[in-house]
Amino acid sequence: MKYILVTGGVISGIGKGIIASSVGTILKSCGLHVTAIKIDPYINIDAGTFSPYEHGKSFSLKFPSSCEVFVLDDGGEVDLDLGNYERFLDIRLIRDNNLTTGKIYQSVINKERRGDYLGKTVQVVPHITDAIQEWVMKQAKISVDDDGVEPQVCVIELGGTVGDIESMPFIEAFRQFQFKVKRENFCNIHVSLIPQPKTTGEQKTKPTQNSVRELRGLGLSPDLIVCRCTTPLETSVKEKISMFCHVEPTQVICVHDVSSIYRVPLLLEDQGVVNYLRQRLNLPVEMRQRQMLTKWKEMADRSDRLLEHVSIALVGKYTKLSDSYTSVIKALQHSALAINHKLEVKYVDSADLEVKTMQEEPVKYHEAWQKLCSADGVLVPGGFGVRGTEGKMLAISWARKQNKPFLGVCLGMQLAVCEFARNVLGWEDANSTEFNPETKHPVVNPELKHHFEAKGLHFVGQDVEGERMEVIELEDHCYFVGVQYHPEFTSRPIKPSPPYFGLLLAAAGKLQSYLAKGCRLSPRDTYSDRSESSSPEVDILELKLASLYINRQTLEVHTPAQPDSCTGWQEQFSIRAPMDLTLWQYQFRIIMLGDSTVGKSSLLKRYTEDMFLESINQTVGVDFYVHFLEVEPGVRVKLQFWDTAGQERFRSVTRSYYRNSVGGLLVFDMTSRDSFDHIKEWHAEVCERVQPHKVLFVLVGQKSDRDAHGERAVRREEAEKLAGRLGMPYIEASAKSGHNVRESFELLTRRVYQGLLSGEVQLMEGWDGVKCAAPQALRLQRASGSKPGTAPGNNKKCCG
């Protein structure tokens, strides 16, 4: 058995769980059987009694924090990191894979009470440390795969940070453990933070040096140092860490912010982690291309290039802390990715849908209903307590009557039954005895099954004893399903959960097509286990489609060599490849302008990452973001955003970026009069520097959510008047609530695209405001008589 211990330094919540999961993933891709253990130093026995507002408030560099309690196959209620292990490694863990201080002390105290220690004084060393080692060695041998094979590698994550008083017994246990199992069977990966203060932009190594020094002082020496940073690690920084931390430069691994957590295993693979572990632990691994990792790369690439959106209204009572529904969101993301859509989750507090809110806070009430009604599908997840249940039933009723795709999970299913009983069966006080013990119609009752089925609500799934109704489905509805169990806990990135998958298919309008194909996706969707082919050879063949590219000098289409059985394959795709497989036809450079603190970066984060942070570091100079958008069928645009600093001291830097921009979002804070008054200056400054080119603008009033609180300092009429005077449209948005964020960016993008079609914007050599990626594709479009991508007068500039 090989043991890999993952420790963390500097701060908690740095991403040890994702790193541990990623290490396990790349080892499993080599054909090894991998298990995982999470150690939590808190004294709680398990995570079952944690409040979602209490557990796991963590620092995150685009890695998700842990606030949800994850439920395992055997009912164990554990830390969310075990959910990451299961999703990444596609394994089934049990409650003993989560080791806590409470469990260890309980075990030792029980032994002492039974007299197992023969009257000896029970101490932290050796009794607690021995118990930790025995637990790890015993649990590491338990199979976590369906084939029942004993694992070869155990990845152990130690929660918290090195130096915490709570984790000292565990550190000491592993100090002893490394000698017990021998050096060739144990290694330590230490995850540490490399901060990069915005004021200097310099990557700082001192926190990592101190963290490693402390770890060494406790008797553990890291074999790999994984550096969490916002940008790729500079060579000089890597060499400095190597020198001061007594490791080779190749043992310093950079894990910087990436577009998706699916890219983390690929980062580790690219930096030789598998090769190092193979040599360090004598692993029986062949260094060859691995299909599992190929699928991960395809999945990560797909995640980055999604163009179509699908929105789901999540109606719950803990929506102020979205991480309370982490597994639900993951299940939705897995399904959205499988159908090639970018997921947009609209969080709706169920209490805001109720009549009481309409009377007390009408603005909040109407905003909640607007979110619900604008979504493509509705999800009511599990929950506890009576608060918000009436609002959930109102949402369920609306979805049923409007033929809107709906999925109810656990409590969501029970409330769907209650809603149906009230509004279809006519039992006005129908309820669950959990909420109203005195109800005359306790409808969560198998004896009433025939009443519901007579009206079209069928119970299509039961438990193995046939006593508990597990799945409901409404006839003559596009998708109305409820499940008593929690399918989100078994969803995997390449094996999306069927109930969630069905919801996303219905919300995207693809369910009937999917069913007509025999419940298979397109063969092009090769990364997912729901693709049309289950043959590994065909999977690999299809993945090669993504490697088609255009040689811009010769305008030839290149394809990988194919076996004889694929005769005609190249001819079939040689014409389609430029348009179908090029990620974008145009690139627009968009600049973000406005005073400091108006929320430019927050708008960008909300649009590109669907993320909002209450506190965000100020931009130093210019930050860069990329997003893809389909402006019309078959025409994809790569949006390259330049987020400029609003402070005066950075103007000399930011001004140099104006000239190569084709679009600009002029942003002011609706609660700040000064930021609005400065808009004319920003506009004039850009116009002065872009000649002879032209920048098209949209004026954005940011922080529209403050209007409801009476904090508006700029009237809409005067903002519209200014926009009209400057020749641009005006829109109000809120990065915090998500209101009109997507509309703001898409309004500007379509304005630039229309300008390109009309000739107002022109493609010119030496100017990067607009770029054309696939000239041959455009020629082929025109030859077939389809709509050109540029104005006729500009054809030569684009196509030569």
DSSP for 340-383, written as a single string: TEEEEEEEEEGGGGSHHHHHH-HHHHHHHHHHHHHSSEEEE---
Handedness of CA 60, 64, 69, 73 (dihedral sign): negative
User: Pick the catalytic residue: 410, 478, 687, 799?
Assistant: 410
Q: Is 410 a catalytic residue?
A: yes
Identify whether 254 is a catalytic site residue: no
Residue 482 CB neighbour total at 10 angstroms: 29
Closest C-alpha among 536, 535, 561 to residue 547: 561
Let me know if 488 is a catalytic residue: yes
Residues 6+ apart with CB under 8 A from 375: 311, 312, 313, 346, 404, 507
Q: CA 149 to CA 136: how far, in whole Å? A: 18
Residue of 341, 486, 678, 739 marked catalytic? 486
Q: Could you tell me which of 718, 658, 649 has the C-alpha nearest to residue 682? A: 658
* Secondary structure class of 48 (helix, strand, coil): coil
The residue count for the chain: 800
Q: Please pick, among 172, 390, 488, 732, the residue that the annotation labels catalytic.
A: 488
Distance CA 149, CA 385 (A): 42
Q: Is the dihedral of CA 498, 504, 506, 510 positive or negative?
A: negative
How many CB atoms within 10 Å of residue 784?
Answer: 8
- Tokens read off for 234: 């500079």
Please report, for residues 208, 316, 380, 430, 436, the alpha-carbon distance to residue 444 in angstroms, rounded to integers and kept in the order given.
56, 20, 17, 9, 12
Closest Cα to residue 592, out of 733, 738, 720?
733
From first CA to last CA, the distance across the chain in angstroms is: 63
- How far apart CA 227 and CA 238 sit, in angstroms, is 9
Locate 181 and state its tokens.
């199992």
Q: Tell me which residues are annotated as active site.
A: 410, 486, 488
